[in-house]
Structure 1
Amino acid sequence: MKIKKFDRYEPDERKSLLISSALRCLISEGYSGLSVRKITKEANVSQGLVNHHFGSVYNLIAQTYNVISTDFLQSVKEQIQISTGSAAEKLDIFFRENFSEEALDPDLLKAWLVFWSLIRDSKEMEDTYNRVNNETLSLLEELLTNISVEEKLSIDNISMATQSLMALLDGLWVRETLFDNKRKSENKESYDALTIARSWLKGYRAEIF
């Protein structure tokens, strides 16, 4: 009987490998990739390592979502921190990164659909989503508050403005990833996401909130 050989890694390496493998499976197969067998085969490790390191495949997927979201948010924060521009220019950094070519990779949409579908069924996924969402809202609210101070705007409800912007950005991201550039260019009345986000800021400056 031939015994299957698995690659040997240190614990942290195995966890990172499983996260990367989980993401590749979700990107290539969507919800069908949510399989311990497929993920561990992709990583070339034994199936028992998923429970050993994460407790369940749902915890693994939650951690995968956490890594992607946290890495993106941390990258944006670092760019904003080193920027010497105005608060509005710092918000524009967020806009540009949110709609960068890497962020709008259509292959990632399959993975995100799995992430979102698990929020109502997985406590780990719900907790991770809420934490990342709140951190993002806090960053946007801070930037909008700073714009108000710098430009002496009279904004009655910063919180509602922040929620409005977050909803807009989420919707634009989905729209941009669903339709390729060719299909968007065929619609003469279509505007790119960055233009729409910047137009929202013009409305904010007009003190509509």
Structure 2
Amino acid sequence: MKSILTDSLAKSYTYDQYRNAITALLKEGKSTGNEQSEALTHYSELNETRMNRLEKTITITDEFSAQLQQLQREYIWLVISEGWCGDAAQIVPVIYKMAELSPKIDLRLVFRDENDALMNAFLTDGARSIPKLIVLDKETMAVLGDFGPRPQGAKQLISDYKAEHGKVDETAKTNLQLWYLHDKGLSIQKEIMALMATLEPTAVQMPQE
């Protein structure tokens, strides 16, 4: 696993480099990833707009902001993503905003299709679902936990829709985007901070439900 992680980190991007790579491809009429289609390019264009908006509007709660600034250990947050992924467009800007608050977090991003071995090590129910946040100990490169591809509420919405309709169609995707819009990134913050609380219980104290 350590060699896989080292290889992927060598090919990783900062958040700004990740955004610029997606933008550059869109100017050529392309999306990220091995597969190219008009649909994927269209989704990438929509996601570009979403990410621009979220970077301006997403706020991290005061409580989580304080806790992120109090982290003691040093981490790498390694995110597997692609520009065409609707969930990634909603989640990655929140992860970025969180990482920016802590000098202890080094955020790196990789494209799924460029990192098969890494993706295959972090499948979700056997699927190459993204985005996936992998939390690493920066010193030892040990995997401490992961989050993704969706917060629980979004996961439940899609699961219920699929159970009722037998498939995930454009209506389901629209409903999912509306869920993210109303949630304002709060569920993502809560679930990632719950993970961090298992690593640093003194710095991150989650409220009792």
Note whether the superposition's TM-score is higher than 0.5: no
Greater RCO (CA < 8 Å, at least 6 residues apart): 2
* Structure with greater proportional helix content: 1
What TM-score comes out, normalization by structure 2 length? 0.30
What TM-score comes out, normalization by structure 1 length? 0.30
